[in-house]
Structure 1
Amino acid sequence: MQINFKVAKLEDSEVIGSLVVDLTNEICKLTKAQHFDISLSSTIKRCRELIRDGHYVAIIGEYHNNPVAVVTFTEAYALYGGKIGVIQEFYVSPEFRASGVGSMLIEQVKKYGKQNDWSCIELCTPPLPEFERTLNFYQKNGLIPVGGRKMRQALE
């Protein structure tokens, strides 16, 4: 299967937003909880702003010029590792799962990270146990659990 990957540009914000909304809707449906207050229009707008301001990077995977996967990430700093990459969203369309697309997408992030002198990449998995397969996928691709759970408090 020939998947073409590209680092997204500002004009790709609509594609990124659409795939990320698919991801968040899937998480909410499987967990039967509304973890995110998200709309397509606000997601696209936020994506444009973050890419424009240099705070956000995305890599899109395309099959026959149709977007089928996306990973979004930021660069951060930590005393334990220096410069690191933090994956915010990772999504492969359901019909392309178990075909190797996800592993290829992880490799694209690793390549980007090495080019930018990251010491590591980090991410949080969706709520378990509904996403045990997701955890297994990440472990199979070299990521290891380092403890804890993602936690959030809205600042409004």
Structure 2
Amino acid sequence: MSIQITQAQPEDAAVVATLVGELLREIMAAVSDKVFNFHQADTEARAAAWLRDGCYSVLLARAGDVPIGFLALYQRYALYTEGIYGTIPEFYVCPAHRSKGVGTALLEQARRLGQSRGWRRLEVTTPPLPQFDRTLVFYQREGFSISGGRKLKLELS
């Protein structure tokens, strides 16, 4: 299978939003809880605006013309990282294309993009739940290390 990875443009927002919806549905099924609100049109509009503004980057993986995965990135700042760094807020490979090198290819492109932007590191969060053990193993195999803590949220609106 030939995989093409490109940087998404605002006109790819519908594809990105569809893949985000698939990711969120899969997570909610795994944890048996509706932990996310997803609205296709709102997500598409947000993705288009953020891609246009350049504050959100998306790497799209395709097999031919068929989207099979994506990895999103944005830049952050923290003193503990000793410089600017990138965060991966969303990363998804369609189930039929897993264990075929798609995720690894997306991460390699993310590394290159981060290095070109002068980032010191990439960070990603995966829930500390047994349902996500396979995901954790994937990240560790790709060179990520556990840095501690748990992801918490406080809704502001």
Does the pair score TM above 0.5? Answer: yes
Distance in 1, Cα, partners of 2:79 & 2:137: 28
Moved over 2 A (4+): none
Deviation at 1:42, TM superposition (A): 1.2
Q: Percent identity between the aligned chains?
A: 38
- Structure with bigger helix share is 2
Q: In 1, are the aligned partners of 2:76 and 2:86 still within 8 Å (CA)?
A: yes
Q: In 1, are the aligned partners of 2:68 and 2:94 still within 8 Å (CA)?
A: yes
Matched AA of 2:90: E
Distance in 2, Cα, partners of 1:103 & 1:70: 11
For structure 1, which runs of at least 5 residues remain unmatched after alignment? none
Distance in 1, Cα, partners of 2:131 & 2:59: 26
Identify if the C-alpha distance between structure 1 residues 147 and 110 changes in structure 2 by more than 3 Å, giving closer, same or farther. same
For structure 2, which runs of at least 5 residues remain unmatched after alignment? none
Matched AA of 2:103: G
Output the TM-score relative to the length of structure 2: 0.96
Matched AA of 1:125: T
Deviation at 1:30, TM superposition (A): 0.9
Range 123-132 or range 22-31, more displaced: 123-132
Q: In 1, are the aligned partners of 2:127 and 2:150 still within 8 Å (CA)?
A: no
Distance in 1, Cα, partners of 2:127 & 2:17: 18
Q: In 2, are the aligned partners of 1:7 and 1:58 still within 8 Å (CA)?
A: yes
Please state whether the residue corresponding to 1:80 is helix, strand or coil: helix
Q: In 2, are the aligned partners of 1:27 and 1:126 still within 8 Å (CA)?
A: no
Q: What RMSD, in angstroms, separates the aligned Cα atoms of the two structures?
A: 0.9
Range 125-134 or range 66-75, more displaced: 125-134
Distance in 2, Cα, partners of 1:152 & 1:48: 25
- Counterpart of 2:34? 34
Distance in 2, Cα, partners of 1:130 & 1:2: 30
Instruction: Please list, as runs of the form range in 1=range in 2, the aligned pairs for 1:5-154 lying within 5 A after superposition.
Output: 5-81=5-81, 82-126=83-127, 128-154=129-155
Distance in 2, Cα, partners of 1:103 & 1:4: 13
Deviation at 1:127, TM superposition (A): 5.0
Please state whether the residue corresponding to 1:154 is helix, strand or coil: coil
Output the TM-score relative to the length of structure 1: 0.97
